[in-house]
A = this chain, B = another copy of it.
Amino acid sequence: MTRTLAVVALAAALAACAPSEPPVRWAIAIHGGAGTISRELSEAERREYEQALASALAAGRDVLAAGGSALDAVERVVIQMEDDPHFNAGRGAVLTWDGGHELDAAIMDGSTLACGAVAGVTTVRHPIALARGVMERTEHVFLAGEGAERLAGELALERVDNDWFTTPRRLAAWEALRAGPPSAAPGGGTVGAVALDAAGRLAAASSTGGTLGKRRGRIGDTPVIGAGTYADGACAVSATGRGEEFLRRGVARAIALEAEIGRSSCAEAAERIVREVLAEGDGGVVVVGRDGRIGMPFNTPGMYRGAADAGGRFEVAIWDDGAR
């Protein structure tokens, strides 16, 4: 028995050292939106956001630490953030110019390039679960509006009234906007997660209410595969910020492609594109590469974010410099 154990331990040690076998590891990064985050945030408010981020991050970490898939981990994180009224996704989403909620989400499995996205969802409690339904239960990738709602019915996903998504804070912001001339304002608070699992698979997921005061039917970058959300064998990306800028530059696809062709690592590509290609104030991304390296660059004053990995890292942050 002792001898058997010793052999097993030796085999495990050798396997861990074998150069052809990458170390078994996992990593996850999440965001709750980039933008102007007031440093005047009260101590209590700051702590609330940090707790919300830590709780979502822990949910994803638990999936990965238990050997779950990157896909399950990112979906789990986003479902939790959709339910959390602090963020602009699911409950707590911003309002359109008309005063309703239109929700967008996307999910992608980097190991197969399978992906699913929804836009203009109005009654589905967890748009990210519907995006996964598009991916796994239809032959399509992207469904919008009533067609997406219909699929939610077929899949028996949880439904809510549209005003279930409304929170007093978002309603007040909408009322202030409507008091001025017609215009859209940054929503802030789009959520997303990227993960690498112990099997080496990457995945990304994002969900949002879009921009405050948006036109009916407006689709931003979040549900657009290659703009706000992307994952392949090299890189997983979830973006947040001025959606139209991420769309016109195909930011998530560009980061992944730079990593794929070996121009740089996923984290370096993300850093370069956020600093050199996007304009100051556009937003940020969270990424993780097949090397397990996490990147969380942003060019806004702050980005709600968190990172954890198999090495024991577990941290959340709001501003650039860690200043509180």
Query: Which partner residue on chain B sits nearest A108 by CB separation?
Result: B248
Q: Are A140 and B244 in contact (CB under 8 A)?
A: yes
Chain B residue nearest to A184 (CB atoms) is: B139
CB neighbours (8 Å) of A263 from chain B are: 261
Query: Any chain B CB within 8 A of the CB of A68?
Result: no
* Given known A-B contacts A142-B220, A263-B261, A147 and B215 have beta carbons under 8 A apart: yes
**How far does the Cβ of A150 sit from chain B's closest Cβ, in whole Å?**
6
* Cross-chain contact B225 with A113 (CB below 8 angstroms): no
Main secondary structure of the interface of A (DSSP, over half): mixed
Contact A214 B140 (CB under 8 A): yes
A324 at the interface (CB under 8 A from B): no
Stretch at the interface among A10-18, A19-27, A114-122: A114-122
Q: Does chain B have a CB within 8 A of A169?
A: no
Which residues of the other chain, B, contact A36 by a CB distance below 8 angstroms? none
Determine whether A266 belongs to the interface, using a CB cutoff of 8 Å to chain B.
Answer: no
Contacting residues, chain B, for A250 (C-beta < 8 A): 225-226, 230, 250, 253, 256-257
The copy count of this chain in the complex is 2
In the complex, the chain B residue whose C-beta lies closest to that of A219 is B142
Contact B224 A253 (CB under 8 A): no
Given contacts A250-B253, A254-B253, contact A142 B225 (CB under 8 A): no
Q: How large is the interface on A (under 10, 10 to 19, 20 to 34, 35 or more residues)?
A: 35 or more
A28 within 8 A of B: no
Chain B residues in 8 Å Cβ range of A151: 215
- Kindly identify, within residues 185 to 243 of chain A, every residue whose CB is under 8 Å from any CB belonging to chain B: 214-220, 224-227, 230, 243
In order of increasing CB-CB distance, the 6 nearest A-B pairs are A147-B217, A226-B250, A147-B216, A250-B253, A142-B219, A145-B145
- Decide: A219 and B115 in contact? CB cutoff 8 A: no
Q: Does A144 contact B (CB under 8 A)?
A: yes
Asked if A89 CB lies within 8 Å of chain B CBs, one says: no
Q: Is the CB of A247 within 8 A of B138?
A: no
Q: Which residues of the partner chain B approach A140 to less than 8 Å between Cβ atoms?
A: 184, 214-215, 218-220, 244
Chain B residue at minimum C-beta to C-beta distance from A150: B216
A224 to B256, CA, bound (A): 18
Residues of B close to A249: CB separation below 8 A: 113
Residues in B neighbouring A120, C-beta threshold 8 A: 144-145, 147
Chain B hits for A114, CB < 8 A: 248
CA distance A184 to B141 in the complex (A): 13
CB-defined contacts of A105 to chain B, threshold 8 Å = none
